[in-house]
Chain A
Amino acid sequence: MNEPASRRRIITAGLAAAGASGLAYGARLASRYGLIPPDSGGIWGIGETLTYATERVLMSGGSVAREFDRSAISGVTPVNGAVPGAAAYERLLAGRFSDWRLRVDGLVARPSTFSLDELKQLPSRSQITHMACEEGWSFIAEWTGVPLSYLLTLGGMSPRARFVVFFPFDENWDSLDLADALHPQTLLAYGMNGQDLPTPHGAPLRLRVARQLGYKSVKYLSRILVTDSLKDIGSGGGSISPDIGYSWFAGI
């Protein structure tokens, strides 16, 4: 056997051993620190888990999405998806959402409901951020709303809570881990570019998650559920996205 071949063999064996022990150690650490996404199963789950764990660690310093000047606001604000066809939603829309209520329940000390006016009287935050669709297009807009963290604190979120689930009037339910649910830029937005949220953008209330792609910003909200597990909701993947072939975590 010649010299370079034996050296190559030693290096390969060393790398394989380091890789195997690294993987085992990584898996133990990841589950302890909540770095495994709900859609971690299957072949795609490998990529999902690597991305989620890596970006969660990178963002653990409390990173914030870029905020822009008013001059950066886009003139064109495309939307995806249709306005919900549910009769309940059409009735509320016709009544200008005066009968609409947001329910907040689950692992909170004080489950409650809020009207649109009640939400508008809570402390608000406005921010001009970039929203990108997974298809490739994007726009910048100003969003105004109640920080989700404020509402969760108001409800008395239990220390057992691990996820916050969002149910809209259509089938596009989703959920956030606490890192994004409690993030200062995560809003329950009722305003866009200084006006009430336009119907195609999710009136009367939408979620706005600044550090993930647009599809995480659930439109047409109806109910918010605080939970310690996503297993029994839908097919257990944490949102409708894994059921239709997309990632639960859209930080990418």
Chain B
Amino acid sequence: MTHWIFTLAFFGLVVSGVAILLAHPRFYWGETGGYGAASLFDLPLPLVLTGQTGWGRSLHFLCAWMAVLAGLVYAVSVVVTGHFGRQLLPAPTRPRAAEEGAYNVLQQLTYLAVVFVVFPMAILTGLAMSPAIASVVPQAVTVWGGQQSARTVHFFVADLLVLFLLVHLAMVIRAGFSSRMRAMITGRIASKEPR
């Protein structure tokens, strides 16, 4: 359930993120930056100033709320239901018989890093760009080395998440798209014998 709300929100975040980016496809380090100042790098994207950042920003913040709320419900529920301990924590002593259908250690570590490191970083760098949040917790900005640094890190973190999504999708397709979807929606793994 949280996965699909999150999927929708993530898609909205990526689309709107690009819409916002097109209004200023340049990146800086430190507190400030703009046309006329030296940039860290410029993206080979067209500069679009047709007001798409209006809906882009509204969509971005609405989806950010959806993603954060769904993410919180997910984080609490994996711990409460025991999924965290059973499936996500690497366990070297797990019996061989249970291995089939379980995640391997590399998968487990990647999921843990994405859920508990990369996503929180996306949220924190996003918040660092908010002048309201910066007034309440100045460290939210200074920890990244400035507001423009936070914006630059936000861009790279977003790229990392899109990369994770692509690998994630490729693995689901390789594992058998329809059986994986059935497992996710019904919560059951189809048995090998016909019923």
Contact = CB atoms under 8 A, between A and B. Distances in A.
Are A and B associated in one complex?
A: yes
Interface of A: 4-5, 7-8, 11-12, 15, 43-44, 46-48, 50-51, 55, 58-59, 61, 63-66, 68, 72, 74-76, 78, 130, 132-140, 210-213, 244-247, 250-252
B31 A140 contact: yes
Contacts of A61: 136
Q: What are the 4 A-B residue pairs with the smallest beta carbon separation, nearest first?
A: A245-B54, A251-B132, A137-B34, A136-B24
Which of the listed residues A8, A46, A74, A252 has the most CB atoms from chain B within 10 Å of its own CB?
A252
A74 B148 CA distance: 13
Interface stretch (B56-64, B113-121, B163-171): B56-64
Interface in B119-173: 129-136, 138, 141, 147-148, 151
Nearest to A252: B130
A44 B61 CA distance: 9
Given A76-B34, A137-B24, A210-B131, 4 more contacts: A8-B187, A74-B37, A135-B23, A136-B21
Given A136-B24, A138-B147, A44 B62 contact: yes
Contacts of B103: none
B191 interface: no
A138 B31 contact: yes
B31 A137 contact: no
B3 to A, nearest CB: 14
A245 B51 contact: yes
B80 A11 contact: yes
Contacts of A136: 20-21, 23-24, 26, 151
Contacts of A135: 23-24, 49, 53
Contacts of B131: 65, 130, 132, 210-213, 250-252
Contact of A59 (B33, B61, B62, B135): B135
B107 interface: no
A177 B32 CA distance: 28
A51 B77 CA distance: 25
Nearest to B51: A245
Interface in B1-35: 1, 20-21, 23-24, 26, 31-35
B132 A138 contact: no
29 contacts: A11-B81, A12-B1, A47-B61, A47-B64, A48-B61, A51-B61, A58-B133, A59-B135, A66-B134, A66-B135, A68-B31, A78-B36, A130-B147, A134-B57, A135-B24, A135-B53, A136-B21, A137-B34, A138-B31, A139-B34, A210-B135, A213-B131, A244-B51, A245-B58, A251-B132, A251-B133, A252-B131, A252-B132, A252-B133
Contacts of B141: 66
A48 B57 CA distance: 10
B41 interface: no
Contacts of B26: 136-137
Contacts of B138: 66
A4 B188 CA distance: 11
Contacts of B53: 134-135
Nearest to A246: B54
A135 B61 CA distance: 15
Nearest to A250: B131
A61 B132 CA distance: 12
A18 B137 CA distance: 30
B58 A44 contact: yes
B57 A138 contact: no
B91 interface: no
A11 B58 CA distance: 32
B65 A4 contact: no
A244 B58 CA distance: 12
A137 B20 CA distance: 12
Given A66-B134, A66-B138, A211-B135, A50 B36 contact: no
A133 to B, nearest CB: 8
Contacts of B65: 46-47, 50-51
Contacts of B177: none
Contacts of A212: 131-132
